Amino acid sequence: MAAMVQIADDLGFRVELARPPRRIISLVPSWTETLFALGFKPDEVVGITKYCVEPAAEVATIAKVGGTKNPDIRAITQLEPDLIIANAEENRREDVERMRAAGIPVFTTYPKTVPGAVESILRLGRVLVREPEAANLAKQITLCVSEIEATLGVWGKLRLRVFCPIWKKPWMSFNGDTYAHDVLRMLGYNNVYASAGERYPVTTLEDAVELRPDIVILPDEPYEFDEDDVGELKKLLPPALSRRVLIVSGRDLHWYGVHMVRGLKSLAARMARVRAAVL
């Protein structure tokens, strides 16, 4: 039978399907949430990771196939999926290759910018045969981004500098080749580790302070920073900077797909309040 769907994923791998996929496994929490926004039902999303928690009611009864870094390949093959949705950063290449070797089509996403995330949604719409729904979601996100950028005014050029760690012990941040960096750029902030040679540079607080950040933001994922971490940092940072440490939603900063509609607006409002407090 000739392929009904033929498309290259974000890494250029060709995915061919003989019919629209109706048994889908998602190994990416943000794309799991997006599948339901595109109209899929729990009996069509047959497997997800243990970190796929949204939408809560829909995912509660779906089979869990391990984590993003250690999926249960045997459980995945037993579910006989038509398509697996993966991500080049959240999932390991060797796991993706094992699934492809088992004869399962895998569509791998790899957005590194806000526009890139919109393009990934449109590609997903094509491979899932949900193009109108994906186009509508992409339109919502594009409108949201346009509204945020329109409110920046002069702060689109006069940007505050931000240190945003994503891990502790050791401290780690991210450079300019990442989605989170582009979110901060879109919100009018300069990431102090934008020019780092590694995508996720290991650092120290001393080195971060030398880069002269105006604020420090602590996302609550992937590392679950909390108010105890804020209190700890305030004791270690210079006095002015110690008053500018806050928790933000890791989902708002890192998640792609449908979460961008509300997440980017929420993060924009949070960061605007921070900017006003600093100035």
Contact 236, 203 (CB under 8 A): no
Question: Which pLDDT value is given to residue 279?
Answer: 67
Task: Cis check for the bond before 29: say yes or no (omega within 30 of 0).
Answer: no
CA distances from 226 to 91, 201, 229 (A): 26, 22, 5
What does the pLDDT average to over 47-73? Answer: 97
CA distances from 124 to 146, 227, 250 (A): 22, 37, 23
Question: Which pLDDT value is given to residue 122?
Answer: 98
Question: Which pLDDT value is given to residue 115?
Answer: 98
Question: Which pLDDT value is given to residue 212?
Answer: 96
- End-to-end Cα spacing for the chain: 64
The two domains 5-110 and 148-278 share their CATH topology (first three levels equal): yes
Q: Tens digits of per-residue pLDDT, 67-89?
A: 999 999 999 999 999 999 999 99
Contact 254, 200 (CB under 8 A): no
pLDDT-derived band at 273, boundaries 50, 70, 90: confident
Tell the CATH superfamily of the 5-110 domain. Nitrogenase molybdenum iron protein domain (3.40.50.1980)
DSSP 153: G
Question: Which pLDDT value is given to residue 278?
Answer: 77
pTM, two decimals, is 0.94
Question: Which pLDDT value is given to residue 170?
Answer: 96
Quote the mean pLDDT of the chain: 95
Q: Tens digits of per-residue pLDDT, 151-178?
A: 987 666 778 999 999 999 999 999 999 9
What does the pLDDT average to over 216-229? Answer: 96
Q: Tens digits of per-residue pLDDT, 25-42?
A: 999 999 999 999 999 999
Question: Which pLDDT value is given to residue 173?
Answer: 98
Question: Which pLDDT value is given to residue 158?
Answer: 73
DSSP 26: E
Question: Which pLDDT value is given to residue 241?
Answer: 94
The residue that leads in pLDDT, 154 or 225, is: 225
Q: Tens digits of per-residue pLDDT, 115-133?
A: 999 999 999 999 999 999 9
Q: Is 90 exceeded by the pLDDT of residue 3?
A: no
What does the pLDDT average to over 57-62? Answer: 96
CATH number of 148-278: 3.40.50.1980
All structural domains of the chain with their residue ranges? 5-110, 148-278
Question: Which pLDDT value is given to residue 107?
Answer: 98
